[in-house]
Structure 1
Amino acid sequence: MISNTLFLTYTIMCFLGLQAITLVLMIIRHNESGNTRLMKVTRNFVIVSLVLGLFYYISFYRELVLGDFAYGALSRGLDAVIFYAMGYSWVKLIDAMTDSPNPKLIKWRKLTPKVFLCLMILSAAAYMFLLNDYYATDYDWAEATVIILEGVLGLTVVIFTLAYVLLSFGDLTDGMSRSYIIIVSILINFNNLWNNLVVCFVFVQAVSPTIISSKLYGVTAVLVLIINLLTVIYIYKKDFSPFFFGKKESRPRPLSEEEVVDLVAESHRLTERERSVLVLAYQGLTNPDIAEKLFISRHTVKRHMHNIFEKMDVSTRVEMIRLIQSQVNPQKKSTTQ
């Protein structure tokens, strides 16, 4: 019964992963979101989660149907790397979603690829060279090394996730995005720590590998299923539904210019500070005027304007103003029809 349930769970999880990838590719193709970098990072995250699901789906099939419990060095290496690849793709997605100007994040952004590359190399080396084909070893020092590595590497992922969330969360005003980041961050880190704990259980012989294969690792199936389901819902709600569903145009209430600017800021995923700069720039204020108004430096204003231009896919203030006015004019036209 457990085996059939796990197979079904992994099957649904893989299906959701494929659906998420399809949605992201369609959005990138149409370029409706105004932020292709975010969509590409999202694509990478769902691809990694799909690879993880396929790996464990095949593993369960080999163990529970074919009765083959042996794993070669490459398979063990992939098993070790995939969890940290998922952690890396997730913190990159958090960074892309928040796009925070917090200067403290500069150090973390530089460290992230280097640290996660080290995590993957160390974990893969331990699994490939310290363990045999049955995830076991006859040497106490090898067991101790793997257990210590599992603990240190798992906590490192937690630390980086917390750093990105705490340092950039304040710049994200969208409630749905906030909820998505919190929930998925908890699920991903719980999944990593859970699998680290399972490995430790194997070495201290608290449970047998057979029980782990059929039950304990099944937690990963449930967690990644939830992650993929939340990702599909989030992508559909935030970016995909405008392809098919639009607002009714029969005598809508005309929007003020401020409301239109808010809509433009939200649709292009501007941070709260970038929105404030956009409003003042749209009103005709210069960079020095904006800096004085918001009590920030001119350099900071210039950086915000650069981010705004990039997200709105414009290169000058004139183009930016025309883009906003193009959203105002349809509102006016619809009220005269």
Structure 2
Amino acid sequence: MIDDTLELRVKRISYEADRINSYELAAPDGRDLVPFTAGAHIDLHLPNGMIRSYSLVNNQHERHRYVIAVNRELAGRGGSQFVHDNLRVGDIVRVSKPRNNFALCEEAEHSLLIAGGIGITPLLSMARRLDALGRSFELVYAARTRSAAAFLDEIEALRWNGHLRLDFDDERSGQVFDLAAIVRQAPAQAHLYCCGPQPMLQAFETATADRPADRVHVEYFQAKNPPAMTGGFEVKLARSNRTIAVKAGKTILDALLDAGIAANYACSEGVCGTCETRVLDGIPDHRDQFLSGEDQASNKTMMICCSGVKSATLVLDL
């Protein structure tokens, strides 16, 4: 793993909603942090070896802190539970520098931000930015209940009159959350953003299928495709001049790490983009949610944490 991380202190932990805490991270010596833009995330390197990506929720003009929110996923892989159970105020944690795979188009005529549950985190940062710029936008925030909606008090206090629509499952009187209708009402030139649970993201992609791809933006927290783990092939590493066998039950990333190859990675699910690697020869079996359909078709890069190979040869720029 190539080390390009910061050591930050947990300055404050706050309750935000049912099973959701926010964590304010700051430099131990008080110095300014690396700047970020709305929609960016950091990777939290946990003491148990896990690496998890979390969106930055605070104002991008703030240089003194990073604020993330962690939803305790009872059926998750253990990262969020570890954070809730073990991270304490005063602890030093290792984090990556901010990266943005979900960038905001600040020049858009109008922006529609659709958040589901913990998906509010990158979109709240975007809403803050659009409000500061005086841009036209609407934030649609859906959650199971008010008590499950993080940052709700803060959002309502911002008084984005005409810019905010709240939707809670237990307040609809039997009606359904009509995401398709919300999308249809958006101006033709609008940029649309969505972050939330898998069913919402799939409904959003269906509803926006006829809109220009460069105006539709989605961020996944979880993989929707299983990783390629059939194995039975070799990967050639051009810069290392090595050939690595990928056995059944292993991903390409697994095989590289087992062989002592330094490779960047974080989510291990193909959603964060950290492990994106240049392909010099061969055809990947793309399983990620990070690359666009056009990027996948070009086969110029791949996510080695989850994608496999369709060709007899795969040569990577490693």
| TM-score using structure 2 length | 0.22
Q: Which has the larger helix fraction?
A: 1
Q: Which has the higher strand share?
A: 2
Q: Which one scores higher on RCO, CA 8 angstroms, separation ≥ 6?
A: 1
* TM-score, normalised via structure 1 length: 0.21
